[in-house]
A and B are shown apart, each in its own frame.
Chain A
């Protein structure tokens, strides 16, 4: 009885506190006026400085590459953490077998087989042209990861896992991760400061242009793809199948 009362008191306080928070923030956000044009510097100089037409890519792979390195590290850490800790969870509990796996349906199998190449093609396009159009390593890699999830749904996780097993995943992950770190360490060899582009900028708008941005996009795309597959594979094996 007392415990219940305390719980409702807690809930009341929580609601009051949250409402106060909402009012305070909304009240002060309503005073936000117009601001001076921010980000014009990037628009003005971006193409000239980095050779990339897509200014967002110019920012996250050139001006603010250091943040992106952290982003990659965070992603790598998530993959490492998930793989390290999921090995400890037993999984494959028979109770979950009651729900049928998706790969047992014919429609899913055929549609997945048809769609997977299309998804792969689009995501490769996104990765390769990251410096020209919206896209880039992260979005392309994530799309490729969901593409392989589609394949795993269609054919069963075990079959996809046979070709992309733990050893292959480990090796590929190391290659991509070490590649990204090594690429950011290279500039001093070419007389440039660390984390500064050392490749020729080329002509803006062309596929082979804007220095190392396409190279980074490829590496990040591969890293994100492998990372997402590694996590999905862990969860798949934990459940039994997709």
Chain B
């Protein structure tokens, strides 16, 4: 299946942008549309014949680079197509330099590679490419705080990828293979020292990129200081790729328990920090920490429903955060600042569609029934048996609700003159609609791919959490939460220290079990 070499399409269009910078945005849009067509071909092939495996150049698996298209590929390539279209429409009337479009093309190319990648070293190379792209994208407007943020991001993820490469080296030394499938067969059931150390190294490396608390402390600054489009791409795709790699690693290595513990830590701490932040983009970034916790807990349970639920949650969160960052960017530009009080006070200035998008995105983030993250959570909590884990998952959901409650007023229609439907038909609002559609029709879309979800029974607990969160906020917490939690942990030096210490913790947890 040559179609799996979709990344090459974006590298080609990237070089075309280099040749004809004047048509950069047109080339990008065409590239995204073409990739959509290729993904459609792959999808139909997937539904007819099942997972697609292809080794580049026609070599055997042992010596070539394998690309693999399965359920993960299906969901995430669909997400990438939607996000790509939304972003290129959003950018259409903003006159970016051709440099930005070049980065954008390469960005999508490396994203598709990571979605299909099944070779450990290919993952490393594509990840590093993605790191450099994200680094340049964050620093593109060249404000000092963005430059500093992207430097922090680069240093942290370079350390992470160094650890990952060490793990790959040890693994290669023992198995003589880089292909994940072959390695998984070779180490099945073995718990030797080299399996433990290499999996700990690789998980730490990926944890830096995936947005896990204590490991990727670059994330809040990178999300909230970069321009809206870049934040949407980072939150919607870049960090999710490390999540995919974690899913793939968890299928091969004995890392269940450590992922479970990491999930609990990142969920609870991220949720707490989200409650104590007072800026729209800060809240979304810290809640991203909390939301990756669901995936890790799902992987840690290593039940099929849990893994599917975690993956669906990842996709859903990608859709929602990118919508929130795009709509939030428009709202913040209209209001002039991102703090909660400012947004609520001046909400009339924000365009109605942006406000609707914010409202739906925030509701979805809190786990409102029918909206995307809810689906993943239902599958997830169905797969968990241990009581303490149920309690932790509920706690994470509760913190998520409390964090976003005070932002909900933004969505109210305050004056009658501006109704939701009389908005201007700009390309920007088209991109919001493009992202809103899959969010609203998420459940039927998921059902179409053959995943059974029983929503009826599971309505009670999430609604109780939702209601109790809202009540808790208005009755108890509203006046009490004013300060912020210690910010030192976001400092570069502390971030490196927690990252290295986190490696030892992961190692211990893998070794003990």
Give the contacting residue for B194; candidates A31, A80, A174; CB below 8 A. A31
Interface set of A (CB-CB < 8 Å, partner B)? 10, 13-14, 17-18, 20-21, 24-25, 28-29, 31-32, 35-39, 41-42, 45, 49, 62-67, 69-71, 73-74, 77-78, 80-81, 84-85, 88, 174, 177-178, 181, 184-185, 188, 192-197
User: B57 contacts A73, CB within 8 Å?
Assistant: no
User: A195 contacts B56, CB within 8 Å?
Assistant: yes
- Count of chain B residues with a beta carbon within 8 Å of a chain A beta carbon: 56
User: B122 contacts A67, CB within 8 Å?
Assistant: yes
Give the contacting residue for B129; candidates A20, A77, A184; CB below 8 A. A77
Q: List, in ascending order, chain A residues with CB within 8 A of B11's CB.
A: 69, 73, 181
Q: Helix, strand, loop or mixed for chain B's interface?
A: helix
Q: List, in ascending order, chain A residues with CB within 8 A of B504's CB.
A: 17, 20-21, 24
User: B128 contacts A74, CB within 8 Å?
Assistant: yes
Which residue of A is nearest B494, CB measured?
A10
14 contacts between A and B (CB under 8 A): A17-B504, A21-B504, A24-B197, A28-B193, A35-B173, A41-B63, A63-B63, A63-B64, A65-B57, A66-B56, A66-B122, A70-B113, A70-B125, A196-B57
| 8 A Cβ contacts from B102-161 to A | 102-103, 106, 109-110, 113, 121-122, 125-126, 128-129, 132-133, 136, 139, 142
Interface set of B (CB-CB < 8 Å, partner A)? 2, 5, 8, 11-12, 15, 18-19, 56-59, 62-65, 99, 102-103, 106, 109-110, 113, 121-122, 125-126, 128-129, 132-133, 136, 139, 142, 166, 170, 172-177, 192-194, 196-197, 493-494, 496-497, 500-501, 503-504, 507
A35 and B11 alpha carbons, distance in the complex (Å): 38
Q: List, in ascending order, chain A residues with CB within 8 A of B63's CB.
A: 41-42, 45, 63
Closest Cβ of chain A: how far from B5's Cβ, in Å?
5
A74 and B176 alpha carbons, distance in the complex (Å): 26
Q: List, in ascending order, chain B residues with CB within 8 A of A18's CB.
A: 500
With most chain A CB atoms within 10 A of its CB, the pick from B56, B121, B493, B503 is B56
User: B15 contacts A178, CB within 8 Å?
Assistant: yes
Q: List, in ascending order, chain A residues with CB within 8 A of B122's CB.
A: 64, 66-67, 70
Closest Cβ of chain A: how far from B107's Cβ, in Å?
11
User: A181 contacts B142, CB within 8 Å?
Assistant: no
Given contacts A28-B196, A35-B173, A80-B99, contact A13 B497 (CB under 8 A): yes
Q: List, in ascending order, chain A residues with CB within 8 A of B102's CB.
A: 80
Q: Helix, strand, loop or mixed for chain A's interface?
A: helix
A24 and B193 alpha carbons, distance in the complex (Å): 11
User: A38 contacts B176, CB within 8 Å?
Assistant: yes
User: A25 contacts B197, CB within 8 Å?
Assistant: yes
A174 and B20 alpha carbons, distance in the complex (Å): 10
A8 and B143 alpha carbons, distance in the complex (Å): 32
A171 and B207 alpha carbons, distance in the complex (Å): 41
Give the contacting residue for A41; candidates B62, B128, B497, B501; CB below 8 A. B62
Given contacts A36-B176, A194-B2, contact A181 B15 (CB under 8 A): yes
A29 and B194 alpha carbons, distance in the complex (Å): 7
User: A63 contacts B57, CB within 8 Å?
Assistant: yes
Q: List, in ascending order, chain B residues with CB within 8 A of A78's CB.
A: 132
A17 and B57 alpha carbons, distance in the complex (Å): 45
Q: List, in ascending order, chain A residues with CB within 8 A of B65's CB.
A: 63-64, 66-67
Give the contacting residue for B133; candidates A24, A62, A77; CB below 8 A. A77
Which residue of A is nearest B13, CB measured?
A181
A38 and B183 alpha carbons, distance in the complex (Å): 13
User: A17 contacts B125, CB within 8 Å?
Assistant: no
Closest Cβ of chain A: how far from B160's Cβ, in Å?
14
User: A32 contacts B129, CB within 8 Å?
Assistant: no
User: A14 contacts B18, CB within 8 Å?
Assistant: no
10 smallest A-B Cβ distances: which pairs?
A38-B176, A31-B193, A28-B197, A196-B57, A70-B125, A17-B501, A194-B5, A181-B15, A178-B15, A17-B500
Closest Cβ of chain B: how far from A178's Cβ, in Å?
5
A158 and B90 alpha carbons, distance in the complex (Å): 43
Closest Cβ of chain A: how far from B122's Cβ, in Å?
6
Q: List, in ascending order, chain B residues with CB within 8 A of A62's CB.
A: 57
Closest Cβ of chain B: how far from A226's Cβ, in Å?
13
Q: List, in ascending order, chain A residues with CB within 8 A of B193's CB.
A: 28, 31-32
Q: List, in ascending order, chain B residues with CB within 8 A of A188's CB.
A: 2
Q: List, in ascending order, chain B residues with CB within 8 A of A193's CB.
A: 2, 56-58
Give the contacting residue for A71; candidates B18, B113, B125; CB below 8 A. B125
User: A174 contacts B106, CB within 8 Å?
Assistant: no
Closest Cβ of chain B: how far from A150's Cβ, in Å?
28
User: B99 contacts A84, CB within 8 Å?
Assistant: yes
User: B503 contacts A73, CB within 8 Å?
Assistant: no
Given contacts A28-B193, A35-B176, A66-B56, contact A178 B126 (CB under 8 A): no
User: A194 contacts B8, CB within 8 Å?
Assistant: yes
User: A81 contacts B59, CB within 8 Å?
Assistant: no
User: B176 contacts A39, CB within 8 Å?
Assistant: yes
Give the contacting residue for A38; candidates B15, B19, B172, B197; CB below 8 A. B172
